[in-house]
Chain A
Amino acid sequence: MSTITTTTPAPGAAAAPVAFRRASKGFWHTVGRRLARDPITMICAVILLLIVLAALFAPWLGLDDPFKQSMARRLKPFGYQGHWLGTDELGRDMLSRLVFGARMSLFTGFVPVALATLIGGSLGVVAGYAGGRVNMIIMRCIDVFYAFPSVLLAVAISGFLGSGQVNGLVSLTLVFVPPIARISESVTTRVRNEDFVEAARATGAPTLSILFTHVLSNVLGPILVYASSLISVSIVIASGLSFLGLGVTPPNAEWGLMLSTLRQAIYVAPLTAILPGAMIFITSMCFSLMSDGLRNAMDVKV
C-alpha cells in the first residue's frame, strides 16, 4: 500500500520526504496504477469509450440517415433489409438513431454534473473555508434546495420553464448543486482545520494562495469522486425528463425521448421498444461502476 491518502498534503505542495522514493512518483500515478489493475473499471472504461467514440464520429460511420422516415417499413424486426436493429415507429433506422441518440444523451447527462461541480464546488469551498456567517448563509440556502426530492425538483423546474434541451440542463444543474456543495463544504471544513493549513497561514501566505495550493488540491479528489458518481444519476434523470416530454424535443434522437415515443409500440415490437432504455442502463451502469472504481483507487470516503 502506498502511504499517500487524500488527507496528506498534495504531492506537489508538500516537501516530499526523501525516504519515500516510491510514493514520490505522485498520487495520480498511484491512482492510475490501481485503476489499471481493476478489471471491472477497465471493462466499463472500454465500453464507455466505444459509446463516446461512436457518438463523436456518428456522421462518418456510414449509418442510415437517423431522420429518414418511411411509412412502408415501420417497426420492422431486427435484421430487416440491412437494418440491423430494425426500425422505429416512423420507419427510421434504429441503430442509427441509437448511435446519434448517444450524442444528446451523453451531453445532457454530463454537462449538468460538470456545471454543478463548478458552481456547487466553489460554493462549498468558499463556505467551508470562510466559515462563520458566510458559511451559514450559503449552507442554509443550499439546505432549502436539498429539501426537495431530486426528481421532483428537476420536474418542477423544467415543468415551469417548459420543454427544451437548455431548460433540462438548467434544471438538472440546479438539482446537483446542493449535494455537491454539501460534500465540498464538509471536506473543506475538515481540511481547513488541518495543521498544514494552519502552518501556511502562520507563514503569512495570502488567503487565495492557501485556497488554491493547499485547500483545493486536497478537496478536489473527494469532490470529483462524488461528482463522478452523479453522472449515472444525471443520465437517468435527463433521459427521464425527455421521457416525460420535458427535455429534448422530437424529432431529435435521444434515448429517453425514443423510449417514450416507442412506448406505444410495446405490444407490437417489444424488443425494439426497450432498446433505448437498455442503452441508458448500460451507460449509466458503466459510469456508476467506474465511479466506484475511482473511489476505491483514490481511497476517498465521502
Chain B
Amino acid sequence: MLRYVLRRILYAIPIALGVSLVCFSLVHLAPGDPLSAVLPETATPEQIAEIKADYGFDKPLPIQYLKWLGRALVGDLGSSIKTGRPVMQEIAPAIGNSILLALAAIVLAFCVGCGLGVLAGYVRSRAADSVVTAVAITGVSIPHYWLGMVLIVIFSVEMNLLPASGMGAPDWQHMILPAITLASIPMGIIARSIRASVIETRKQEFVQTLYAKGLPARKVFRHVAKNVAPTVMAVMGLQFAQMLGGSILVETVFAWPGTGFLMNSAIFTRDLPILQGTILVLAMLFVAMNLAVDILQMMMDPRIKRN
C-alpha cells in the first residue's frame, strides 16, 4: 500500500509543476509587456525598479520561472498592487470563506444526492430513474448564477425571508441561498453515480447470498453501503474541489467574500499578482484534493490496489 501511495504522489509532482508553469505563464498572456501588466499606471520609478528586481524580468524566462517557483514554494506570492499587502495575507481569509461555503454545499448535495440515488437504485422503476436523470441534467445545464438570482428574487425580494448577499458574522442565514445555489450543480451528478453504483453492487453474487441466507434487508443495505462508499467518496471529493475552484460566479452573485469574489475584483482592478496567486493556490488545492481522493479511495477499497 505504501508503494501505491508513493507512486501516486510521485505522479502528482509533475502535474503540480505543470500547473505552476501554466500559472506562471498567465502573466505573459496579459496584453502588453508583463511589467506594465503587474504595475499600476501610477507607478513611481522606484516601484518599477523594485518590481523588475522582484520578478527578474530582465532574466531569461526559465530563470524567471525557477525564481518565481522558489518563492511560491515558501509562500511568497508577491504583494497586491491595490493594497500593497502580501498576496498570501489577502488570499487566506478568502480561501477560508470559500471552503466554508463549499463544505455547506457539499453536505447539502450529499444529503439530497445520496437520498435520491439510493432510492432510485433500490426502486428500479422508470419514474425514479427519470427523476434522478432530470435532477442530474438540470443541475448540469442550469446557469447557477441565474439560479442564485431567482432564489434572491423569491426568498429575499418577494418573501423577505433571507439576506440577499454578503456574509454576516458567524451567521448561517447568509449561507443558505449561496449554498443551495452551489449545491445544485453536483447534486444530480452525485445522485446519478450513486444510483449506478447501488444497482451494480446489488447485482453481485454476495448480495444474493446475503438475501438467501435470510439476512434482513436493513442489514444487507449495510453491506451494499460499504461497497458503494468508495465511489461516493470519490465523486464527492472531486465535486468539492470543482466547487471550490468554480464558485466565482456564485460568489459574485451573492457578494460572498471568498476566492471568487477576490478574483473578480482583482480582474477589474488589474491586480494581477492577486489573480495569479489565487489561481495558483486553488489549482494546487485541486491537485491535492485529487491526490487525497485517490489515496482514500484505495484505502477504502483494496481491490483498486491490485490493478
Contact = CB atoms under 8 A, between A and B. Distances in A.
Contacts of A270: 153, 157-158
A35 B157 CA distance: 43
A125 interface: no
Nearest to A289: B137
A288 B282 contact: no
A147 B138 contact: no
Contacts of B290: 147
Interface string B224-248: 0000000000000000011011101
A155 B22 contact: no
B30 A162 contact: yes
A267 interface: yes
A108 interface: no
A273 interface: yes
A240 interface: yes
A63 to B, nearest CB: 23
Most B-side CB within 10 Å, residue of A149, A233, A287: A149
**Is chain A's binding surface mostly helix, strand, loop or mixed?**
helix
A236 B191 CA distance: 21
Contact of A232 (B141, B249, B264, B279): B141
Most A-side CB within 10 Å, residue of B138, B267, B283, B287: B267
Given A147-B18, A244-B264, A155 B140 contact: no
A82 to B, nearest CB: 26
Contacts of A281: 141-143, 146
Contacts of B153: 266, 270, 273-274
Contact of A155 (B141, B143, B248): B248
Contacts of A246: 267
A239 B146 CA distance: 10
A151 to B, nearest CB: 3
B143 A152 contact: no
Contact of B143 (A143, A148, A239, A267): A239
Nearest to A161: B29
Given A144-B15, A280-B146, A156 B26 contact: yes
B91 to A, nearest CB: 14
B106 to A, nearest CB: 14
Contacts of B19: 144, 147-148
A6 interface: no
Given A144-B19, A149-B244, A152-B282, A277 B252 contact: no
Given A236-B141, A266-B152, A150 B242 contact: yes
A244 B249 contact: yes
A246 B241 CA distance: 23
B254 to A, nearest CB: 11
A255 B70 CA distance: 43
A266 B287 CA distance: 38
Interface in B133-148: 133, 137-138, 140-147
B145 A243 contact: yes
Interface residues of B, number: 52
Nearest to B17: A144
Given A161-B29, A246-B267, A259-B146, A240 B249 contact: yes
Interface string A264-302: 001100100110111011001101110010000000000
Contacts of B142: 236, 281, 284-285
A259 B246 contact: no
Interface in B8-40: 14-16, 18-19, 21-23, 26-27, 29-31
Contact of B18 (A144, A233, A284): A144
A83 interface: no
Nearest to B284: A147
A221 interface: no
A233 B246 CA distance: 13
Most A-side CB within 10 Å, residue of B140, B149, B158, B268: B149
A140 interface: yes
Contacts of B286: 147-149, 152
Most A-side CB within 10 Å, residue of B146, B153, B157: B146
Nearest to B137: A288
A236 B143 contact: yes
B149 A266 contact: yes
Contacts of A232: 140-141
Given A147-B286, A266-B149, A274-B149, A155 B263 contact: yes
Contact of B157 (A233, A263, A266): A266
A134 to B, nearest CB: 17
Which 5 A-B pairs give the minimum distances between C-beta atoms?
Answer: A277-B146, A149-B245, A144-B18, A151-B246, A152-B245
Given A151-B249, A266-B149, A277-B146, 7 more contacts: A148-B283, A149-B241, A149-B245, A240-B145, A274-B150, A288-B140, A292-B137
Interface of B: 14-16, 18-19, 21-23, 26-27, 29-31, 133, 137-138, 140-147, 149-150, 152-153, 157-158, 241-242, 244-246, 248-249, 252-253, 263-264, 266-268, 272, 275, 279, 282-283, 286-287, 290
Interface of A: 140-141, 143-145, 147-152, 155-157, 159-162, 232-233, 236, 239-240, 243-246, 256, 259, 263, 266-267, 270, 273-274, 276-278, 280-281, 284-285, 287-289, 292
27 contacts: A143-B18, A144-B18, A144-B21, A147-B18, A147-B283, A147-B286, A147-B290, A148-B286, A149-B242, A149-B286, A151-B242, A151-B248, A152-B283, A156-B26, A159-B263, A159-B267, A160-B30, A233-B140, A233-B141, A236-B141, A244-B248, A259-B145, A270-B158, A280-B143, A285-B138, A287-B141, A292-B133
